[in-house]
Amino acid sequence: MITSEGPAPGTAIVVAGEAEDRMLLRSLLRLSHYRVAGEAEGQGEALGLLRHHRPAVMVVDLHVAEGSWPSLIAGARAILPDMKVILVAPASSPPTDRVDREQRPDAILIRPFRIRQFAEALLSVGTVADPGPG
Amino acid sequence: MTAHQVLFGAPKVQIESRPVFLRLMSTIQDLPDEILEFLSTEPPQSLIVRGPPGTGKTLLSLALLCHYPGRRVYVSSRVSTKELQREFPWLESKANRIEVVDAAGGSGGVREKAELVAYARHQLGDPAGSDELRSLWLPEPIQETWSRLDPRSPTIVVIDSWDALIERYLGFGSSEGGPVPDRPEIERILVEQMAKAPVFLVLVTERDEVTQLDYLLNGVVQTRWVRTNSRVERWLSLSKLRGVRLDMTEYPFTLDGGRFACITPFPPEYRSRLTKAVPDPDPQPGLIWPGNGEFAAAFGRLPVRRLTLIEKEPLVPDEAVRTVVRPIIAHAVEHGGRVVQTLPPEIFPDEMWSSYRDVISLEQFHHQVRIGSVITHVTDEVRPSLLPRPPPAREGPSGPLFPQALQFLQDASPSAPNLLVSWLDGLHELARMQGSDLSGISLPGVAMGYLSTAPIHVIFIGTEDDPFGRGLRAMASIRLRFRERNGRVFIAGDKPITPQFVLADSEGADSYNLVRVV
């Protein structure tokens, strides 16, 4: 059969307040063979994408347009407990660890990072790999 | 276990064409053996499919996809997924599962990518000139395709067309702002990137000129079509398939039924046999069944008291013509018809009986068949069917070369399919030996004498330059031309006017197949 969806490899969504960051994270995910199912500026939009696409991983920029990353992660965990979360943060404002357990990301990437480090972060959280054509 | 087995999980891909030792004549195949072998090589691998618009590149690409043993991704920059489904419904089967990346819609151009790369350098601290971010220059559909690849699974990626995709990408505001890579640079990045995964990359291009892709990629094939006597001929040229021996570089193909299919050469060693004809599904008075459904569909049935002229180029093997004529004869003798054959000078009459014996008994052979030949040394089995050579003519037109033949046919049952089949070179030789003044001018009159007095259909076979044949053209109700191109036999009807066909082996009940070239 022809399918524009195809056999989904590892899927991801991107959440970032700035369009440039979303574009960059999308490209980096694709380089690591992740299909980007959707992109969101803020928390509400992101949770909607999660319900719809049920991705294997969510990459969140520290700066989201609406809501906050801790509450976004907590909300996401409530919907998809097994989904992995990678938080991208600038070196100037690293995330504190004073958050509840359900608000913690599975990995944190501090900018500037290399593409290789991004790929390693994805590997380290052990997200669902491409299942093949099935 | 070889690396190939690791990648594909099975020994070398099983080519779906028939093994060579079973090939009887030209066969119709989905793809040439050389391409099938190339498809089975270990990835990364790469191929250019080049050709002008409308020459069959997309259908060739789809055939490549269908035959690839791994995953399949089709990047379509010309048609949407829905259009593809509508145009090629046969792709809908599970066996042909193909992922489509729709690149037909607008997506960001190179200017947008320039902003991304600049931002990435800033954000990721990537030093200018580093190669790490080069892949970010690839167009969106390519990045989307890359995201779908599994680095552990061999995947074929067909980009159709690369020209449309890259030109649209570079066309988006490339004249302003900072430096952006040009097309050759993007192509280098593409090839480098795809080589990092087990990808069989196929780039479809309309560009006629040789570019760096010709040496960057391991394979180059070209499609083209030519018009011959107002009829289409399609050809696939295999210019380069690195690692594969190219025994045959030219393949005619057809797109009949919306599928790519090519035709293998007609083997010089092929020998046709008189085998039982396919029964006439709908007998019609006054029309003789040609013993083959493909012939009937292409050129019609053979009208009684009319003439068929088969003209062939000198390079066309006689066996190709016999392949078409023998089912006609088989049908005739199976249905009680009488057959007179004048043989080419090099054919022994005994060979005729050898070819008939699978269809009729010796008794039937003696009763229904007469053979005219310059060779009179025959076995006792054949002698009763051999026409005695007439005495040399003393003066003037000598009338029928074989009066016994005419009488034999005049006595035939009018309701039976009766035939006179004459090879013109044999007729020349017989006329010369008899001292007859038979010529291209007088032969039509002789033929008319047979047709007006005997319930038969006459088939004359000769080369295009034979004056006997030229003289018969006007009175032929069916006129077929056999041509040879790169080892294939093309057949076209001038009466009636038909498309061009390639003579090929049949997988069905028919003894041969006529592959319509469209």
pLDDT of residue B73: 92
Q: Check whether A98 has a pLDDT greater than 80.
A: no
Q: Check whether B506 has a pLDDT greater than 90.
A: no
Mean model confidence pLDDT for chain B: 86
Question: Smallest Cβ distance to B81: which of A4, A30, A129?
Answer: A4
Whole-number Å distance between alpha carbons of A75 and A64: 14
How does residue A131 score in pLDDT terms, banded at 50, 70 and 90? very low
How does residue B14 score in pLDDT terms, banded at 50, 70 and 90? very low
- Print the SS3 string covering B383-452: HHHECCCCCCCCCCCCCCCCHHHHHHHHCCCCCCCEEEEEEHHHHHHHHHHHCCCCCCCCHHHHHHHHHH
Please, what are the domains in chain B?
A: 3-263 (3.40.50.300), 295-516 (3.40.50.300)
- The DSSP element (H or E) to which B481 belongs, if any, is strand B478-485
pLDDT of residue B157: 97
Cα–Cα–Cα angle for B255, B256, B259, rounded to 5 degrees:
55
Whole-number Å distance between alpha carbons of B254 and B233: 8
Cα–Cα–Cα angle for B329, B333, B335, rounded to 5 degrees:
120
Question: Distances from the Cα of A117 to the Cαs of A88, A120, B137, B142, B176, in angstroms?
Answer: 12, 5, 20, 22, 33
pLDDT of residue B126: 61
* Contact: A6, B92; criterion CB under 8 Å: no
Question: Does the beta carbon of B156 lie under 8 angstroms from any beta carbon of chain A?
Answer: no
Question: Smallest Cβ distance to A30: which of B71, B94, B147?
Answer: B147
* Contact: B93, A33; criterion CB under 8 Å: no
The pTM (predicted TM-score) of the whole model is 0.83
* Contact: B147, A33; criterion CB under 8 Å: yes
Best residue in B76, B87, B123, B135 to probe A by mutation, most A CBs within 10 Å?
Answer: B123
- Residue range B319-366, pLDDT digits in tens: 899 999 999 999 999 999 999 999 998 899 998 888 888 888 999 999
Question: Does the beta carbon of B405 lie under 8 angstroms from any beta carbon of chain A?
Answer: no
CB B487 within 8 A of CB B220: no
- Residue range B141-161, pLDDT digits in tens: 999 999 989 888 999 999 999
**How high is the ipTM of this complex?**
0.82
Report the interhelical angle of A115-125 vs A19-31 (nearest 10°): 70
Q: Quick one: A25 exposed, middle or buried, by C-beta within 10 A (0-12, 13-18, 19+)?
A: buried
- Torsion sign, CA atoms B112, B116, B119, B121: negative
What are B382's two structure tokens?
Answer: 């054949």
What are B304's two structure tokens?
Answer: 């009684």
* Contact: A1, B97; criterion CB under 8 Å: yes
CB B219 within 8 A of CB B28: no
Q: What single-letter DSSP state applies at residue B17?
A: S
CB B235 within 8 A of CB B220: no
- CATH number for domain A11-113, candidates 1.10.3720.10, 3.40.50.1860, 3.40.50.2300, 3.40.50.300: 3.40.50.2300
3-state secondary structure of B93: coil
Q: Check whether A40 has a pLDDT greater than 70.
A: yes
The residue with greater pLDDT, B401 or A48, is: A48
Q: Could you tell me how many helices (H) and strands (E) chain A has, helices first?
A: 4, 6
Question: Does the beta carbon of B99 lie under 8 angstroms from any beta carbon of chain A?
Answer: yes
* Contact: B146, A34; criterion CB under 8 Å: no
Q: Where are the domains of chain A?
A: 11-113
Residue of B487, B516, B515 whose CA lies nearest to B499: B516
Provide the residue type at B484 as one letter.
Answer: E
Whole-number Å distance between alpha carbons of B33 and B244: 10
pLDDT of residue B91: 67
Listed in sequence order, the DSSP H helices in B217-361 are 293-299, 318-334, 349-356
Q: What single-letter DSSP state applies at residue A123?
A: H
| Nearest chain A CA: its distance from B506 CA (Å) | 29
| Nearest chain B CA: its distance from A117 CA (Å) | 10
Beta bridge partners of B71: B155
Residue of A28, A74, A110, A66 whose CA lies nearest to B135: A28
Q: Cα-flanking dihedrals φ and ψ of residue B328, to 5°? A: -65, -45
